């Protein structure tokens, strides 16, 4: 893998600054958004019920990402489509949907593709990321889902919700790189809690990182340079 370097600011431009705890209150959401604006993260990823108030208060100051079918993914496609339409109407620019793992375990990949297509249609030109929850999948299922995400027309494949039994791994990201179609990007999420982790995932080929700790880790290190081989700072 090539040696790459990133400043703290570079890293944050790839971060979806995330708060998805069920108990998150408005004060915590506001703090998250204000950090995202100040440090120019790629987006804020927040619960659907907070999309409208965040958009009303901050408008275009921040890119709003929200989650659909979260965190288990086993609701009907119609319910997910309705959620997506509401989120877009409320001001979301990016949608992170969870696949139906039951479809995968039954081998119904065509149904997975159709669900992704339906949600992408509801998104229109908004960004769609598809969470496949790798911790519950075999390698063969992960490979099949790379094809399903590609065929469904999604913009990203995403590793994890952060609510499963495990989160992102570099092995999964490298597997995705081999099997996703042209134009599909990768988002790693779940368990990414250090600068070293973030640099490793960016170097491996991720375009986005879902993290709650990134701003705190990099607030006072924005202009330092982090190398992927040694993680030395300048």
Catalytic residues: 96, 158, 187
Backbone φ and ψ for 189, nearest 5 degrees, come out as -150, 155
Strands (E), the chain: 5-7, 15-18, 43-46, 64-68, 94-98, 127-131, 156-158, 185-189, 208-211, 225-227
Report residue 73 as tokens: 């993914």
Integer Cα distance of 108 and 137 in angstroms: 14
What's the longest Cα–Cα distance across the chain? 51
Q: Which residues contact 96 (CB under 8 A, 6 or more apart)?
A: 45, 65, 66, 67, 68, 70, 129, 131, 158, 187, 210
């Amino acid at each position: 893998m090539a040696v790459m370097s990133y400043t703290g600011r570079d890293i944050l431009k790839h971060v979806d600054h995330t708060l998805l705890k069920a108990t998150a209150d408005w004060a915590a959401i506001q703090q998250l958004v204000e950090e995202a604006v100040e440090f120019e993260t790629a987006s804020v990823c927040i619960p659907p019920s907070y999309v409208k108030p965040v958009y009303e208060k901050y408008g275009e100051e921040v890119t709003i990402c929200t989650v659909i079918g979260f965190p288990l993914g086993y609701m009907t496609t119609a319910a997910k489509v309705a959620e997506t339409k509401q989120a877009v109407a409320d001001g979301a620019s990016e949608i992170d949907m969870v696949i139906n793992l039951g479809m995968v375990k039954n081998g119904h990949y065509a149904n997975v593709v159709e669900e992704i297509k339906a949600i992408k249609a509801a998104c229109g030109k908004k960004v769609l990321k598809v969470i496949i929850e790798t911790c519950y999948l075999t390698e063969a299922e992960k490979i099949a889902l790379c094809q399903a995400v590609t065929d469904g027309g999604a913009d990203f494949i995403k590793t994890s919700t952060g609510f499963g039994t495990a989160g992102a791994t570099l092995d999964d990201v490298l597997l995705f790189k081999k099997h996703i179609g042209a134009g599909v990007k990768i988002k790693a999420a779940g368990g990414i809690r250090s600068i070293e982790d973030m640099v490793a995932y960016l170097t491996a080929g991720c375009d986005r990182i879902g993290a709650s700790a990134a701003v705190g880790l990099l607030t006072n290190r924005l202009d330092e340079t982090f190398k992927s081989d040694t993680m030395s700072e300048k």
